[in-house]
Amino acid sequence: MADRLKQLVSHISRKEMSAELWQEVPLAPPDSIFQLTAAYKADTFKDKVNLGVGAYRDDDNKPWVLPVVKKATSILLNDETLDHEYLPILGLPEYTSAAAKLILGSDSPTLKAGNAVSAQTISGTGANHLGALFLSKFYHWNGAPKVYLSNPTWANHHAIFRNVGIEPVDYAYYDPKTIGLDFDGFISALQNAPDRSVFLLHACAHNPTGVDPTQEQWKAIAEVIGAKKHYTFFDCAYQGFASGDLDKDAWAVRYFVEQGLPLLVCQSFAKNAGLYGERVGALHVVSPNTETANRVKSQLSVLQRSEISNPPSHGARIVSLILNDAGLFEEWKRDIRTMAERIIDMRHKLHRLLTEELHTPGNWDHILKQIGMFSFTGISPSQSKALVEKGHIYLTGNGRISMAGLNSHNIEYFGRQLDAVVRGTLTSSSS
């Protein structure tokens, strides 16, 4: 009887305590990209191909430590003056100022006037988060906070804004009929949004589509943004990686600044310096004058302090060395070209294979027109699934492939499997 009573009491108190026992926490779905990578790793097929992951691979499908990064790392290792003290809250000053010049231009009047505020962040993701958090606190919203995101966009954008209470709204961007930009849809979304809306724009190498506006189209976009007094939230995760030229890939951001449009820029050195795991990024907020910039800076410091206290030093020191030394900077530009050119070369090889050799049904010119790490192939979710299940080719369900996952050893296999899936003749490959 006493035991029964004890059991009952423990059952009741467990029920009351259920929140603390996390029994009502639902199981979250796994991240689709990381799930894809796990499935790829578990596959024993010898010719398997991983086109899911957004990281550069060399022609032997290996991660590439940039030679300039190796050099900078060895300089740091031998620098007796370095220690492991905390960095300032907004980061390593020589890193943030050089990073601002890289994106805004070394002769930027805005920078010279001291109107831009820069904070070192936990890579591009952290820059997006800090930028979103800053807007959530200080932007003068028309009603409920909303951010306009391209449809489609980098999957993390939605969660980053939702986490700080800003609701994402899609704007037209990709046209599946042309496998290109839905320019008219984009312009009407800008025109139809209430004045002073916040629009997130990918500065270059749009993820996941690889579809960027032309310079003429950027000018038209900027004009509507100016007329509607919208705020631009630029996300720049691929500077240099898209065209192989750092200045060319910063063109849209610099043009918007020149036009006097209010904006901020999120910057990442994950891809262009191959520093994925080092988490080196920055947020740059362009203000109309120095006095405003100082106030913005003070609030970014407060937000950063409560989120991460101080950013990490190692990756920022590597990038700072590279950006502030003319010789290392030139070497970095060569390394960037090596990566960008290999990807562009893969685009040409894949296009040639599909058009001249295999005569795959359909038009494949978008493979050449798209830019950066990713290509939207235009194949359907069921065709993508068939490539994974029958062809051992791992890609996301939307038909996006990472061009960096293609190389001289696997491109032929990939091209033939893609051709077969388009023709509806794909059969299971086994080794």
Ligand X SMILES: Cc1ncc(COP(=O)(O)O)c(C=O)c1O
Nearest CB to ligand X, comparing residues 202 and 392: 202
Minimum distance, C-beta of residue 236 to ligand X, in the bound complex (Å): 8
Minimum distance, C-beta of residue 226 to ligand X, in the bound complex (Å): 24
Nearest CB to ligand X, comparing residues 123 and 377: 123
Contact pattern for ligand X over residues 42 through 81, marking x by CB under 6 A:
------------x---------------------------
Query: How many residues interact with ligand X (rule CB under 6 A)?
Result: 13
Q: Which of 125, 243, 383, 384 binds ligand X (CB under 6 A)?
A: 125
Nearest CB to ligand X, comparing residues 154 and 183: 154
**226 to 285, contacts with ligand X by CB under 6 A?**
235, 237, 268, 270, 276, 281
Of 48, 64, 154, 218, the active-site residue reads 154
Distance CA 322, CA 409 (A): 32
Minimum distance, C-beta of residue 61 to ligand X, in the bound complex (Å): 19
Minimum distance, C-beta of residue 123 to ligand X, in the bound complex (Å): 3
Distance CA 313, CA 88 (A): 10
Q: Nearest Cα to 310, choosing from 122, 77, 101, 164?
A: 122
Q: Which of 52, 105, 124, 391 binds ligand X (CB under 6 A)?
A: 124
Contact pattern for ligand X over residues 279 through 298, marking x by CB under 6 A:
--x-----------------
Q: 332 an active-site residue?
A: no
Return all residues near 290 (Cβ < 8 A) that are at least 6 apart.
113, 114, 115
- What would the two tokens of residue 164 be? 């700080």
Q: 195 an active-site residue?
A: no
> Backbone phi, then psi, for 355, in 5-degree steps?
-90, -55
Of 271, 297, 335, 364, the active-site residue reads 271
Omega before 208 within 30 of 0, i.e. cis: yes
Contact pattern for ligand X over residues 201 through 220, marking x by CB under 6 A:
-x----x-------------
Contact segment (CB under 6 A) with ligand X among 1-9, 121-129, 326-334, 420-428 equals 121-129
> Backbone phi, then psi, for 402, in 5-degree steps?
-85, 115
Q: What is the DSSP letter of 277?
A: G
Nearest CB to ligand X, comparing residues 98 and 270: 270
For the sheet containing 116-122, what is the strand order? 116-122, 280-286, 263-268, 231-236, 198-202, 146-151, 167-172
- What would the two tokens of residue 165 be? 């209470």
Which ranges of 308-410 does DSSP label H, i.e. alpha helix?
A: 314-324, 326-352, 366-369, 381-391
Minimum distance, C-beta of residue 418 to ligand X, in the bound complex (Å): 23
Contact segment (CB under 6 A) with ligand X among 12-20, 96-104, 118-126, 412-420 equals 118-126
Minimum distance, C-beta of residue 207 to ligand X, in the bound complex (Å): 4
**Which amino acid, 390?**
K
For 73-121, give the DSSP string.
Answer: HHHHHT-TT---PPPPTT--HHHHHHHHHHHH-TT-HHHHTT-EEEEEE
Nearest CB to ligand X, comparing residues 274 and 415: 274
Q: Is 384 in the site for ligand X (CB under 6 A)?
A: no
| CB of 45 closer than 8 Å to CB of 388 | no
| CB of 295 closer than 8 Å to CB of 138 | no
Of 212, 235, 335, 419, the active-site residue reads 235
Minimum distance, C-beta of residue 241 to ligand X, in the bound complex (Å): 10
Nearest CB to ligand X, comparing residues 270 and 286: 270
Nearest CB to ligand X, comparing residues 34 and 192: 34
Distance CA 271, CA 278 (A): 11
**Which amino acid, 117?**
V
Minimum distance, C-beta of residue 8 to ligand X, in the bound complex (Å): 51
Nearest CB to ligand X, comparing residues 134 and 154: 154
Half-sphere exposure of 345 (CA within 13 A, CB side): 12
| CB of 268 closer than 8 Å to CB of 281 | yes
Q: 235 an active-site residue?
A: yes
Interface residue list for ligand X (CB under 6 A): 54, 123-125, 154, 202, 207, 235, 237, 268, 270, 276, 281
Active site residues: 154, 235, 271
